[in-house]
Amino acid sequence: MNLKNRDFLKLLDFTSEEIEYLLDTAADFKEKKKNGQPHRYFEGKNIALIFEKTSTRTRCSFEVAAHDLGMGVTYLDPTGSQIGQKESIADTARVLSGIYDGIEYRGYGQEIVEELAKYSSVPVWNGLTNEFHPTQILADFLTIRETFGKLSGIKLVYLGDARYNMANSLTVGCAKMGIDFKVCAPEKYFPDAQLVKTCQKLAEQSGAKISFETDPQKAVKDAQVLYTDVWVSMGESSEVWEERIKDLLPYRVTQKLMDAASKDAVFMHCLPAFHDLKTGIGKSIGEKFSLDCLEVEDAVFESDRSIVFSEAENRMHTIKAVMAATL
Ligand code: CP
Ligand code: NVA
């Protein structure tokens, strides 16, 4: 398998074999890290991390993975560079390509990261756009594989706003890897119809299933993974909270829903999560709408069925795999 010099912009650009290879590479790196085996295969190389939105997991994962691989890192924060204000994406791509061996980009429209990749002569990695979050899916799939020993045939239900990066990327990833994927949301929150059509075709080849359900109790029957994400994503106006809460409250992951799922069901979330009122936004929204949590109940989040922190750790191992495979 040779992925050298490839960009990692969205899972649609990769075959199921290539995705499997990245997961195997990540598992191998994880093992090495646990055993204290050095893997500084890219000494002397340097990467740039462009973040136009904030991050904990993705930034830390890229930085630690790069250091483990022997590389230098420059972090460009949402305000600390000329990008967008004084310099176009095309010019930035050509400047950074001359200095760095790889570029990570987190920001708004998918077309921006695609433009960056078009003008860059070094690999570009998508660290999240409004439309896709492909490195998150690799971490999720590694975690599912570790939990159930396989991906193909796993029944995964996504509850909540399914029009954004997480549900879009899960739809593609599940379609490629033979997963039985169900979106559970009010109809107006279903993913883009064109993307679903593309994924239905992929599903025919892999044996995956893609289905839709508006009733959460029905949706979670036999489900092995209940997955959710925040109801308002980065970059969206805080004014949409009221409508989202009204529409999505029945889709909150509750203990009752976990009990209605398969006996071995686990809870997953890309994080950060509003499972209590111990965050700035969680507290102000919770108090305003008289809620003690948003997309997931604290009892579920803190339960032994919750694998969210393994999922978060796996961001680092999978991002390392993406960089090592493409550099
Ligand atoms: N899941 C995820 O991408 O987290 P960060 O926003 O903290 O990077
Ligand atoms: N949908 C979320 C994912 C965060 C990792 C967002 O874009 O804010």
Q: For residues 191 and 160, give the distance between their C-alpha atoms in angstroms, rounded to a whole number.
A: 11
pLDDT tens digits, one per residue of 69-103: 999 999 999 887 888 889 999 999 999 999 999 99
Query: What's the number of CA atoms in the CB half-sphere (13 Å) around residue 60?
Result: 7
Q: For residues 156 and 70, give the distance between their C-alpha atoms in angstroms, rounded to a whole number.
A: 37
Q: Which CATH number fits domain 136-313: 1.10.10.10, 3.40.50.80, 3.30.365.10, 3.40.50.1370?
A: 3.40.50.1370
Element of type H or E holding 317: helix 308-326
Q: Which CATH number fits domain 11-133+314-326: 3.40.190.10, 3.40.50.1370, 3.30.70.1880, 3.30.530.20?
A: 3.40.50.1370
> Does pTM top 0.75 for this prediction?
yes
Average pLDDT across the chain, whole number: 97
Q: Is 265 in the pocket of ligand 1 (CB under 6 A)?
A: no
Both tokens of residue 89?
């994406």
Q: What is the pLDDT of residue 81?
A: 81
Q: For residues 256 and 259, give the distance between their C-alpha atoms in angstroms, rounded to a whole number.
A: 5
Q: Is 312 in the pocket of ligand 1 (CB under 6 A)?
A: no
- Whether the per-residue pLDDT at 131 is higher than 90: the answer is yes
CA of 128 from ligand 2 middle (Å) equals: 8
pLDDT band at 182; cut points 50, 70, 90: very high
Q: Is 230 in the pocket of ligand 2 (CB under 6 A)?
A: yes
Residue having the nearest C-alpha atom to atom 2 of ligand 2: 233
Element of type H or E holding 51: strand 46-51
Active site residues: 106, 133, 136, 229, 270, 315
Residue having the nearest C-alpha atom to atom 6 of ligand 1: 55
- Of the residues 51, 62, 136, 271, which should be mutated to test ligand 1's pocket, given the most ligand atoms within 8 Å of the CB? 271
- Of the residues 62, 106, 270, which should be mutated to test ligand 1's pocket, given the most ligand atoms within 8 Å of the CB? 270
Q: Where in the chain is the domain with CATH 3.40.50.1370?
A: 11-133+314-326, 136-313
Mean pLDDT along residues 29-47: 98
Q: Is 273 in the pocket of ligand 2 (CB under 6 A)?
A: no
Q: For residues 160 and 53, give the distance between their C-alpha atoms in angstroms, rounded to a whole number.
A: 22
